[in-house]
Structure 1
Amino acid sequence: MSVLFWNVRGLGTAGRRSQILEIIREPGVIVFCLQETIKAKFTHRELVSLGGSHSYHWAIKPTVGHSGGILIAARDDIFDCIGASQVEFFLSMVVRNKISKLQWEVMNVYGPVLHERKAEFLAEISDHVLTNDVPLVLGGDFNLIRFSGDRSRGLLHRTTM
């Protein structure tokens, strides 16, 4: 069983939805988490289309302006959705397996681009993780640079590492 995390950099890009469908149809993908959807809202029809042949529990944090937007989808034939929550930098969903009754949480993060907000971002994640009482899967786009090789473009300011 797999949990997929993917920064899609906008769902409006030509062919992006078909790429997503191709990947989530892979055997074993039971939860998928998207970052940077760049969508303020989703219609029911869009969600059904995005889910392909499976039905899902959805949690959505809309975009603000022209960046961000995160989504979690958990297959509803496998999981019951216990609840979902969102704060500024992440969206989470607690699910319970219908057969094993194992309850766990998936946390999808989208970190700030601005260096000045990194400490706030990390504190928000830390506060949630430290108070969590179920197993946790954490992933997403942290927008953090630890090593110069992490940077996809040549411009690197060492003070932001």
Structure 2
Amino acid sequence: MKILTLNIRGFGKDVESESKVNWFCKMCQTKNPDIVFVQESKCNTVDDRWVELIWGSSNVSYVQKPKIGKSGGLLIIWDPSIFVVTAAVEKRHFIAIKGKWKGKDNESIIVNVYGPHNDNDKSIFFDSLDVLLNVSNVDWIIGGDFNEVRFSSECQNSRFISRRACVFNDFIDRNQLIEIPLLGKRFTRISDDGRKLSKLDRFLVNESFVQTWGHTSVIALDRRTSDHCPLILRDSNIDFGPKPFKLFNIWLENKDVEKIIVDAWNEQNALRTWSKYQYGTLDEEIENWQNITKEMEEKADSGSLNDDDRTSWINARAI
């Protein structure tokens, strides 16, 4: 089980050329999530082709809530061979799907949220979730951008409003929800000027989910083109990445195998030579800027980012 969530702050117009879209596509295809939550897609109604390009495969299902005006937009994308959906519901600030994980007996209701900013809408938002959570005997997974912190330690250089935090915490308590601890970062959102940091994104589950899945964790990934970092909720199964290359002894009995190996090796080296000739040290430069961004954000997490650091961070993110 692996669920990825991200407030993307708008995909842009061209799915095949926008750097933000390319980053998101690569993340989906390298992290291999079973389900993806997107907040602030800023998209009108999307079609099958668009989702397949994002997912990297035609084996995909999705539900959506289009943007309202110039903002908003929610999307859940999933692998139907892993999670079989039987129902879906759309409300103003969230969308939810109900179904079963392959190999699991319990039903699950999975909710992608994008919380509102003002107090009145927050009350309506949590009331709507209360009604949804009235369904019993299911595993609950509620994730996304709640647009709210729970404690003063979850924000830096921004005002902590205790009454809003109390409303959020009361919602969690009365529904007996559990927050999966975040690993890798203290904060999930950083303002464009690098000054304000907050933990707005999270995953909440119920006790039934814990009994079904056992140990789970939430990992914060590096942010690139959004002010929010992606989060991945995963079970305790270790992901070792791509499978190692296998060499079968019977191949060595084939007279053509040596030529195949030599040709493949030469082609790889030729590609590297061409890339270096055409683009120089572009890969190294990109990696260097990404490392600077990561270093500055780690300093921001500890509260030690000065004006020069913020300038370096802004410049690195602009590359």
TM class, shorter-length: 0.7 to 0.9
Q: Which has the larger radius of gyration?
A: 2
Distance 2:58 2:138 in 1: 26
Matched, 1:44 2:56: no
- Quote the offset at 1:118 in angstroms: 1.1
Aligned to 2:101: 97
Distance 1:91 1:140 in 2: 11
- Quote the offset at 1:102 in angstroms: 4.4
Aligned to 1:6: 6
Normalising by structure 2, report the TM-score: 0.46
Matched, 1:127 2:128: no
Kept in 2, the 8 Å contact 1:54–1:75? The answer is no
Alignment of 1:66-81 (within 5 A): 66-81=70-85
SS of residue in 2 equivalent to 1:16: helix
Distance 1:78 1:144 in 2: 31
Stretches of structure 1 lacking an aligned partner (at least 5 in a row) = none
- Quote the offset at 1:28 in angstroms: 4.8
Matched, 1:64 2:68: yes
Kindly report structure 1 stretches of 4+ aligned residues shifted beyond 6 Å: none
Distance 1:45 1:2 in 2: 23
- Quote the offset at 1:125 in angstroms: 1.1
Distance 2:57 2:24 in 1: 13
Q: Which has the higher helix share?
A: 2
Number of equivalent positions? 160
- Quote the offset at 1:91 in angstroms: 0.2
SS of residue in 2 equivalent to 1:24: helix
Distance 1:73 1:124 in 2: 22
Stretches of structure 2 lacking an aligned partner (at least 5 in a row) = 166-319
List per-residue Cα deviations over 1:82-109 (Å, max 9, x = no partner). Answer: 1111111110011223444543121001
Matched, 1:20 2:24: yes
Percent same amino acid among aligned pairs? 25
Q: Which moved more, 1:127-136 or 1:85-94?
A: 127-136
Q: Which has the higher strand share?
A: 1
Kept in 1, the 8 Å contact 2:28–2:54? The answer is no
Structure possessing the higher relative contact order (Cα contacts under 8 Å, 6 or more residues apart): 1
Distance 1:107 1:2 in 2: 14
